[in-house]
């Protein structure tokens, strides 16, 4: 039977990558919402398009912190996976 090899260094790199991507997305989303808000205040202030833009800003704003939370959850799942593997491995060896 072939051995299963877990590359813990790769998993650690993935934890860092996921964390960085979550933080970067949150930053971009904040900037995007700010641009939309400025556009609604200065460029499209009245009418149906302005109302639709305000609704869109509200919906986009609800995404704030969700990607960050999701990336934190993914990192925690990777950590739990490594811990589970280590625990199971300790019973085998």
* Confidence (pLDDT) at 30: 95
> How large is the average pLDDT for residues 20-31?
94
Question: What percent of the chain stands above pLDDT 90?
Answer: 67
The whole-angstrom separation of Cα 74 and Cα 40 is: 35
**Please, are residues 39 and 53 in contact by the beta-carbon 8 Å criterion?**
yes
Residue 84 lies in a domain: yes
Note the Cα 51 to chain centre separation in Å.
29
Residue 59: pLDDT band (50, 70, 90) is very high
Distance in angstroms (rounded) separating the CA atoms of residues 35 and 57: 10
Residue 63, in any domain of the structure: yes
The conformation of residue 63, written as its DSSP 8-state character, comes to T
Asked whether residue 2 is assigned to any structural domain, the reply reads: no
- Please tell me the predicted confidence (pLDDT) of residue 92: 62
Q: Is residue 72 part of a domain?
A: yes
**Domain housing 83:** 14-92
Instruction: Please indicate, yes or no, if residue 5 is contained in any of the structural domains.
Output: no
Residue 1 binned pLDDT confidence (cut-offs 50, 70, 90): low
pLDDT of residue 90: 72
* 78 in a structural domain: yes
- How many domains are there within the chain? 1
């Amino acid at each position: 039977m072939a051995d299963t090899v877990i590359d813990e260094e790769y998993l650690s790199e993935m934890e860092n990558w996921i964390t960085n991507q979550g933080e970067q997305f949150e930053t971009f989303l904040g900037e995007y919402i700010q641009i939309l808000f400025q556009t609604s205040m200065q460029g499209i202030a009245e009418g149906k398009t302005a109302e639709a833009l305000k609704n869109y800003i509200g919906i986009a704003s609800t995404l704030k912190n969700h990607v960050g939370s999701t990336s934190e959850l993914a990192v925690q799942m990777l950590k739990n996976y490594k811990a589970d593997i280590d625990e199971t491995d300790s019973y085998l060896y």
